């Protein structure tokens, strides 16, 4: 991992560990110098977008990487700072909150939020007219699911639509989807990575308003995020005034987060009453180490076919997106994703796990803890039920 990515979270402003301004400035200076010295390359044109580095295979996972968008299509992501004249995210930032009534399948009610990072503490402001309409339709007697996408995605991406659709099929539930597509749509990965804090604060603002104006029970609020979205939900859980009942991380993004010191810099078990994570591309695009109350490693953290470890296999399928596919299927699955406990990641690698089985995904028991292993099919339906335990 390159120096420009090492502990990015310690230079995100604001970080949950609230580092002093002088320390942030010093870190930013040295990391910027390192980025310039190590990664300055001739500018080239790739897909009509100005690039800062050559796409040499030997630099893969150092200065660039293939990362899937919200529809599972591989895209080039640059792991270096954007050029000085890259101003795609300058100016006022708008995030959209979409509310779906499960009892009335129709177009969502959309409320715009303006976020600002002019000060150390990011603020979020709802547009009053749309918030009033959204609040009127919200039902505090139902469970609430809040979904957020990752890099180069939107609420119209498969990562959101698949989960939202499964919950809408079940019915009798409040569903919110957070659209931060304008901030997420940047080929320079570090820029969207920094926005996870602001978006997380905006989600926290939504939670606070639901509790304070609609008497929502925070214990019935469930935050679900994919990739960068998983860390957004970690920030949301940390910044809201009310501790939420559950946070689910779907293959939390590894670049710029896993090497950070301290759980305050990424999703972890302290962010909610119960935190569960599905690791589907462990150690590559997603976190390798366990960070939640319960961490699932389907197929050892990779899909059975194809894998996420080989560069030439990225284009035939990416396991980073399998996490949300597994989760979406689990919501209404009749077979279920049964997993067994493991004592260590080495035990998972050796597939030597045995013990009391539990379900992964939506129906996971909230009393469970530890790391778990399971097998899946290589295509839908992914769930094998308990049959795989006899293979």
Catalytic residues: 227, 251, 320
Distance CA 295, CA 249 (A): 9
Cα dist from 47 to 44, 51, 57, whole Å: 10, 9, 18
Q: Note whether 209 and 136 are within 8 A (CB).
A: no
- The 3-state secondary structure of 103-141, one letter per residue: CCCCCCEEEEEEEECCCCCCEEEECHHHHHHHHHHCCCC
Q: Note whether 158 and 166 are within 8 A (CB).
A: no
Indicate the DSSP class of residue 286.
B
Query: Would you state the structure tokens that stand for residue 161, as one six-digit string?
Result: 């639509």
**Spatial CA neighbour of 279 closest among 197, 345, 199, 181:** 345
Indicate the DSSP class of residue 82.
P
Indicate the DSSP class of residue 3.
T
**Spatial CA neighbour of 218 closest among 207, 209, 229, 230:** 207
Distance CA 55, CA 76 (A): 9
Strands, DSSP E only, in 300-390?
Answer: 337-342, 358-360, 370-374
Query: Would you state the structure tokens that stand for residue 42, as one six-digit string?
Result: 């001739």
Cα atoms in the Cβ-side hemisphere of radius 13 Å centred on 20:
3
Cα atoms in the Cβ-side hemisphere of radius 13 Å centred on 220:
14
Query: Would you state the structure tokens that stand for residue 176, as one six-digit string?
Result: 């919110």
**Spatial CA neighbour of 315 closest among 306, 328, 325:** 306
């Amino acid at each position: 991992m390159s120096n420009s990515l090492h502990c990015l979270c310690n230079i995100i402003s604001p970080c949950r560990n609230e580092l002093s301004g002088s320390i942030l400035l010093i870190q930013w200076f040295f990391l910027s110098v390192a980025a310039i010295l190590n990664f300055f390359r001739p500018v080239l044109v790739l897909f009509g977008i100005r690039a800062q580095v050559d796409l040499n295979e030997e630099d893969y996972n150092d200065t660039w990487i293939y990362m899937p968008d919200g529809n599972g299509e591989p895209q080039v992501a640059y792991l270096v700072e954007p050029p000085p004249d890259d101003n795609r995210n300058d100016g006022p930032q708008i995030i959209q909150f979409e509310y779906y009534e499960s009892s009335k399948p129709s177009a969502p009610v959309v409320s715009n939020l303006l976020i600002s990072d002019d000060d150390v503490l990011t603020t979020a402001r709802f547009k009053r007219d749309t918030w009033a309409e959204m609040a009127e339709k919200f039902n505090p007697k139902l469970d609430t699911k809040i979904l957020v996408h990752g890099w180069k995605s939107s609420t119209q991406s498969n990562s959101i639509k698949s989960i939202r659709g499964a919950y809408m099929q079940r019915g009798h539930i409040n569903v919110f989807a957070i659209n931060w597509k304008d901030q997420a749509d940047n080929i320079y990965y570090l820029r969207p990575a920094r926005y996870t804090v602001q978006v997380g604060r905006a989600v926290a603002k939504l939670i606070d308003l639901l509790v304070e104006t609609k008497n929502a029970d925070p214990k019935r609020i469930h935050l679900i995020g994919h990739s960068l979205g998983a860390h957004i939900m970690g920030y949301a859980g940390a910044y809201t005034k009310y501790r939420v009942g559950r946070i689910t991380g779907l293959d939390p993004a590894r670049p710029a987060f896993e090497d950070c010191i301290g759980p305050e810099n990424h999703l972890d078990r302290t962010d909610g009453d119960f935190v569960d994570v599905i690791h589907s591309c462990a150690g590559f695009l997603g976190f390798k180490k366990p960070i939640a109350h319960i961490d699932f490693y389907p197929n050892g953290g990779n899909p059975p076919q194809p894998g996420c470890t080989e560069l030439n296999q990225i284009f035939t399928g990416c396991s980073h997106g399998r996490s949300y596919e597994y989760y979406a299927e689990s919501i209404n699955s009749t077979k279920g994703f049964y997993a067994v406990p493991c004592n260590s990641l080495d035990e998972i690698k050796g597939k030597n796990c045995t013990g009391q089985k539990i379900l992964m995904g939506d129906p996971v028991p909230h009393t469970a803890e530890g790391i778990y292993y399971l097998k899946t099919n290589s295509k839908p339906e992914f769930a094998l039920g308990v049959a795989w335990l006899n293979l």
